[in-house]
Structure 1
Amino acid sequence: MSAQRYGTSAWTVTARIKAQLPDGSETKYFLKCASEDSGRVMMEGEFNAMSELYKWAPDLVPKPYAWGKYKADHPETYFFLQQYIEMSDRVPDPEQLCKKLTRLHRTSVSPNGCFGFHITTCQGSIPQSVGWETSWTIFFAKLLKHVVELDLERNGRWEDLETLEQRIFSHVIPRLIGNLERDGRSVRPCLIHADLWEGNTGTSIEDNTVYIFDSGAYYAHNEMEIGDWRCHYNKIHDEVYTETYLRHYEPSEPKEEWEDRNRMYSIYYNVIYSCNHLGQGKAVRQVAYDDMYYLIDKYAPFSDGEGPERLAESDYASLSAERDHTAVEI
């Protein structure tokens, strides 16, 4: 019946479609589309991610219907179609969001007992490295290494940052993340949304139900989900969200290392953010640099005179503004 541009997205075109069904009733759909091979990866990935979320938590996500390719070939354009729900853009209620989220994390089961996903998913426009692995430590290292290499390619070489990254991979991840899988401990893979900031949530105007969407899902350690909430450009950075989540789902053992794992996981979100937002990536890279140095100091300190320079206060001149920045993405 009609199609209108709806919403704002940095990498896709979005629309609201009004349609008449064969029985004469009317319904609405949300449509997203993007072109070329990158668009195919994004649309196919999002459809599969949202379908997997809907399978385990149908009250948490709009229903996904289809993805595919338009008949027109110039340029090749791909779409993703899902249920349309009229939503406000206010920040989600912490209790409702975290209760639903922890239920998803507790009940979802990896189809093969491994970490990863059966198809490439994206965060923003960036494809993630989500090939299956039996070890969370190995999976996380590969996940982070992929975006670290992409960040250096897109934002330029930074020798001191590269030195820190090398030590993170060689010493800190095996010690800190590896400790989850040591001394008889193990990590159970669960499905996470994987890009959960306030712009990917909405509250139904009709009944105040909280929904999440625009997912880059994969099976992971549940704590990976809320590493994103540590990032200062995320309004769910408010500590009430993390506190509420942990009230419903206690930290993994060793619990005393939860804060450091949360910092480690946030590094991934900051690095991939810098890949997605090239004009704003510098300050976010500085946050990652500082967080890496903190973890290295604690778990694998450099010998005197060995490590790179620490950032001076002047290096953070643009950081406060960047931390308050919120990109509009759907």
Structure 2
Amino acid sequence: MSEYFQQQSNAKTHYGDIDLDERIIDRLPQGAVVKGCRGHGASNWNRTARLDFEIDDQLHSYFLKILTGPKGRPMVHGEYESMRLIHESVPKFSPMPLAWGSCIDPTQHFILFTFHKLSQGLPPIPQFVNAVAQLHTVKRNPSGKFGFHITTYNGTLAQDNTWCDTWEEFYVKGMERILELEEDARGPSRELRKISAPFLSKVIPRLLRPLETQGRKIDPVLIHGDLWIGNVSAQAGSCDPLMFDASAFWGHNEYELSTMRPLNNEWARECMEGYHALIPKSEPIEDWDARNSLYAIRTYAHDSALYPDEPKFRRKLMEEMQNLVAQFAEDHNEARG
């Protein structure tokens, strides 16, 4: 386990019986007889459970997530739409979302998925990168725009998925939103604000504008959006990966690899190499490492906002932003093509 992800991986494990709300029961198939619902798995933001029921003496299981609070309903709606499109693209590598809604208790909200048995540890690298590459090649956004048709959430953080004509515009808007949420969570930092200005106005254009100028073009592909090691597992009985807990959008395929950089280990490096053996790096290739660093900064900003009591996340965020500002802020005019 990477030292960086220790905090995120310390999720609460759920146990014990769960009393099912009638509105959840209403979403089961006709003739279903509930046999039990018990805590199953672990999560940072919601309660998770295995729901068992019988139809004509045949046992079936669903995976249930229950969220509490005012953000719960838009969170399950965003996850449902994210996983619906991902499952349409790679059904072998993702659970099918079945239903979502609010409980009789208006503070509680739910989402149901097909149930999958998982094994311990991460999936083999060849199978994992093949699944991600399939996700990025099956669908293209026919409108050619970047964004998503609904607000999605990374943890409890609402993403700015406003439709944009360029990847640069979309990424700037997303970073502006996350930096605002990070400041809301931790309080203002004069140093971070000072770094953010050239980062947003100079570094991002310098690294992303060349992707869409001088005859180059990015096709927006469906992105999982939060594909860190806590949101992928190996399916029991096979080597196939299972990707879940998505915060999807249509974007640049290389963004998906941003969560590999904080791992900083051989597994992550082999994943990136294996992925790009299937899907080549975007031009200009010489900017690839800096782009990967740029995309990882959004991960650092998310974590800094989600875990405001952990100082290392803001520290890492500022260090990485400063590194790119030092390298690229002065030559940003080259991005104008």
Give TM-score, length-normalised by structure 1: 0.86
Q: Secondary structure at the match of 2:242?
A: strand
Q: 1:72 is matched with which residue?
A: 105
Question: Sequence identity of aligned pairs in percent?
Answer: 31
Q: Is the 8 A contact 1:46 1:215 kept in 2?
A: yes
Pair 1:56-2:85 in alignment: no
Pair 1:264-2:298 in alignment: no
Pair 1:15-2:45 in alignment: no
Q: Is the 8 A contact 2:304 2:317 kept in 1?
A: no
The residue correspondences of 1:174-189 to structure 2 (distance < 5 A) are 174-189=205-220
CA offset digits 1:59-89 (Å, max 9, x no partner): 110111111111223xx21101001111023
Q: Secondary structure at the match of 2:286?
A: helix
Counterpart CA distance in 2 for 1:297 and 1:208 is 43
CA offset digits 1:139-160 (Å, max 9, x no partner): 0000111001111111121111
Q: 1:130 is matched with which residue?
A: 161
Q: 1:327 is matched with which residue?
A: none
Equivalent of residue 284 in structure 1, options 285, 304, 313? 313
Q: 2:59 is matched with which residue?
A: 26
Q: 1:297 is matched with which residue?
A: 326
Q: Is the 8 A contact 1:62 1:213 kept in 2?
A: yes
CA offset digits 1:214-260 (Å, max 9, x no partner): 1111111000100111113x878631111111111111000110000
**CA-CA distance at 1:184 after TM superposition:** 1.3
Q: 1:205 is matched with which residue?
A: 236
**CA-CA distance at 1:30 after TM superposition:** 0.4
Q: 2:227 is matched with which residue?
A: 196
CA offset digits 1:67-120 (Å, max 9, x no partner): 1111223xx211010011110230121110101111211221214221111111
Matched residues, number = 297
Q: Secondary structure at the match of 1:99?
A: helix
Paired amino acid for 1:51: R
Q: 1:152 is matched with which residue?
A: 183
The residue correspondences of 1:76-155 to structure 2 (distance < 5 A) are 76-155=107-186
Q: Secondary structure at the match of 2:42?
A: coil
From the superposition, tell whether residues 143 and 33 of structure 1 become closer, same or farther in structure 2 (CA, over 3 Å). Answer: same
Paired amino acid for 1:242: M
Q: Secondary structure at the match of 1:59?
A: helix
Q: Secondary structure at the match of 1:157?
A: coil
CA offset digits 1:240-284 (Å, max 9, x no partner): 11111111111100011000000000000110111111222x212
**Which structure 2 residue ranges, 5 or more long, are not aligned?**
1-34, 332-337
Q: Secondary structure at the match of 1:270?
A: helix
Counterpart CA distance in 2 for 1:72 and 1:294 is 48
Q: Secondary structure at the match of 2:99?
A: strand
Q: Is the 8 A contact 2:212 2:218 kept in 1?
A: yes
**Which structure 1 residue ranges, 5 or more long, are not aligned?**
303-330
Counterpart CA distance in 1 for 2:171 and 2:268 is 25
Paired amino acid for 1:52: L
Counterpart CA distance in 2 for 1:235 and 1:47 is 32
Pair 1:251-2:286 in alignment: no
Q: Is the 8 A contact 1:198 1:236 kept in 2?
A: no
Q: CA RMSD in A?
A: 1.6
